[in-house]
A and B are shown apart, each in its own frame.
Chain A
Amino acid sequence: MMIGLSHYLIVSAILFSIGLVGVLRRRNLLMLFFATEVMLNAVNIAFAAISHYYNDLTGQMFAFFIIAIAASEVAVGLGILIVLYKKYGSLDLDDLASMRG
């Protein structure tokens, strides 16, 4: 059976849902970041697949910029994580809930 666009898209969808489950389940901030990375990568697969099957470079361009953004997001996010750890002593989300309404 030929691998069509839908195969890649289904794989991307499954990976995205796995990432979503991770985001919702994780209470530790660092592991939350891991799940976010999973989601970003899943989307990258989808972009590259569409780019391949439509013979358009736009998808790959988008994937590049997503990678760039993810990199800078990790840098800043980990910086914040360090500051939070210094202030609160723990990385559990329930302990970081100081902005309650």
Chain B
Amino acid sequence: MYEIVAFYLFSALTIGLFLITVMSKNILYSMTSLAAGMVLISGFFFILGADFLGVVQLVVYVGAVMALYAFAMMFFDATRDIKEKNTNNALVFLLGGLSALVLVLMFAAPIFSESVQALYPMHEGVGNAQDVGIVLFTKYLVPFEVAALMLLVAMIAGIILAGKKMDVSLTEDMGADDEIMIVKDEK
């Protein structure tokens, strides 16, 4: 019962919020609705029993990624509307509508394969986080390490792209050294 209500509520809200994200002319509204939509998506994950995934979604997406976007917002005046020209509305809505239609039709027809074998089946009695941990650190170890490396590289790339005046050290105190040098000369 609760699941049905939660599902329909979450899906209605998510669709509405993402519509605002995509259609709004104000960047602040767009970003805020994106963040809210992501929170609701983590709700979906919790309904589906993927607890760990839901928490990760909240922490990474809503916490880190949206923060990044918020910093990027500094380039704009949040009160003004973004002017966008020559959007071919007909083509866009046609494509979007067509893809939605086709996909929905494909998923609505209840043709599911019966002979799909679970590759890494869930274990009963074990919590989702434990289950994920076991699989992640044994079967998926190599992709895990590679993803870590990739995040490191992305971080460094981000620093380099966005940083300025990186040849001057920000931590050393230049003034103190000069004073000592001057005193030495005076002696």
Contacts and interface: CB of A to CB of B under 8 A. Distances in A.
Given A1-B4, A3-B7, A75-B158, A38 B22 contact: yes
Nearest to B147: A68
B116 A38 contact: no
A65 B53 contact: no
Nearest to B49: A52
A21 B147 CA distance: 30
A23 B50 CA distance: 29
Given A10-B104, A75-B68, 13 more contacts: A18-B19, A22-B21, A34-B21, A44-B57, A45-B41, A48-B44, A52-B50, A57-B121, A58-B120, A63-B50, A72-B150, A73-B154, A79-B157
A34 B31 contact: yes
Give the secondary structure class of A's interface: helix
Contacts of A81: 72
B119 interface: yes
Contact of B151 (A21, A49, A72): A72
B103 A13 contact: yes
B60 A61 contact: no
Interface in A22-69: 22, 24-28, 30-31, 33-35, 37-38, 41, 44-45, 48-49, 51-52, 54-58, 60-61, 63-65, 67-69
A30 B27 contact: yes
Interface in B69-113: 69, 71-73, 75-76, 82, 84-87, 89, 91-93, 95-97, 99-100, 103-104, 106-108, 110, 112
Ranked nearest first, the 9 interchain pairs of A and B with the lowest CB-CB distance are A79-B161, A22-B22, A72-B154, A17-B100, A13-B103, A21-B96, A9-B107, A56-B118, A75-B158
B174 interface: no
Contacts of B127: none
A51 to B, nearest CB: 7
Nearest to B92: A24
B126 to A, nearest CB: 11
Contacts of B44: 8, 45, 48
B97 A17 contact: yes
